[in-house]
A = this chain, B = another copy of it.
Amino acid sequence: MATTRPATSPPDLMSVRHKVSAALTRFLDAKDEAAPGAELLYLTSTLRAFLTGGKRLRSVLCVYGWQAAGGDGEMTAAIRAAASLELFQVFALVHDDVMDDSDVRRGRPSAHRALAAAYTDNGGPHGRAAAHGLGAAVLLGDLALVWSDEFLHTAGLDPHRLAQVLPLVAEMRSEVMYGQLLDLQTTGRLTGDVETALHVIRYKTAKYTVERPLHIGAAVAGAPPAVLDACTAFGIPLGEAFQLRDDLLGVFGDPGKTGKPVLDDLREGKATVLMALAVQRASRAERKTLSGLVGRSDLDEGQAAEIRAVLDSTGARQTVEEKITARRDEALAALDEAPFPEETTDQLREIALAATERQT
């Protein structure tokens, strides 16, 4: 059991990121080589560009989950499982940007915009560029999704261990799609419904970004239920805190650091906990400001400043900060009880602090 045995030479953040990147590059190189035609390079090159960005948070958590369950030594399978999560994340981002019609992702054009530009660069008619970009991005996302599967299936797990991992992956995927659906249904409807907003981030982020990567890594190492439960006790509050921080950065962040325009969430009318709290507490005049401006696709910086003032004056921003702190502390307390090797506990503690205090 993992409780007492310390993992030998625990992998550090940088080495996990590096190994995952190398595994992804090898996988895509093999795909390019086996491609039935050169056309596919058009998609894989866009995929590569997307995979170079990102914090690799899910990868790191997956490998730490593996370690939490006593995994040590040869970590190829854990790295491949982690890399498969990164491909899945590209799928989620690309389709998310299509659904939200976002122009920018990670400081660069979103996939459908990049593919539309590539189309006209290659001589395609301008009139079809937007439709082509959208279609190609849907397809790129689909490809990333099925390749994420293939990566996992060929991770070198023995069939019985793979059969243990697959149900967790299936849960994760259904959950993130349920979260997306909630997001889609609530976006653009300004309400004071904090409960629903919390429900969305539980599915869309807490489970997807933190709990399930830990679970999947743990299952790769053959984790017993107690380890999976401890991953949940740590992962859910941390994941919620992570998303609450993201929502604050989406409105108050520095676009130069986050790589995402700071007006997008407000223009979309994203139904965040932050916004729901503000609506709940707003005066008549403040409510009028919110309902008049939030969700306007032509929102300018001055109008955004008016919204930000309401998020401050209602105390919504402050309450979200408090919620982040409470959840972070809950996650840290869960770690103290977790049957993980000490090194893993230390590393997860660092991640919990970084993820909740970050500015990007």
Binding site for B on A (CB under 8 A): 35-37, 39-40, 42-43, 91, 95, 98-101, 125, 128, 131-132, 134-136, 138-139, 141-143, 145-147, 149-150, 153, 159-160, 162-163, 166-167, 170, 173-175, 177-178, 180-182, 184-185, 188, 199, 203
Contact = CB atoms under 8 A, between A and B. Distances in A.
A181 B43 contact: yes
Contact of A170 (B100, B150, B170, B203): B150
Report whether over half of chain A's contact residues are helix, strand or loop; otherwise say mixed.
helix
A203 B153 contact: no
B188 A142 contact: no
Given A95-B138, A99-B138, 12 more contacts: A35-B178, A36-B175, A37-B178, A39-B181, A42-B181, A95-B139, A98-B138, A101-B131, A139-B180, A139-B181, A143-B177, A147-B174
Given A146-B173, A149-B149, A162-B159, A99 B188 contact: no
A204 to B, nearest CB: 12
A196 to B, nearest CB: 9
A146 B170 contact: yes
Contacts of A139: 95, 99, 177, 180-181, 184
Contacts of A150: 170, 174
A234 to B, nearest CB: 21
Contact of A142 (B145, B159, B166, B185): B145
A189 B199 CA distance: 47
Nearest to A88: B146
Given A39-B185, A188-B128, A146 B159 contact: no
Given A128-B188, A153-B166, A160-B159, A181 B136 contact: yes
A58 B325 CA distance: 53
14 contacts: A35-B178, A36-B175, A37-B178, A39-B181, A42-B185, A99-B138, A125-B188, A138-B138, A142-B145, A147-B174, A149-B170, A159-B159, A159-B160, A162-B163
A232 to B, nearest CB: 15
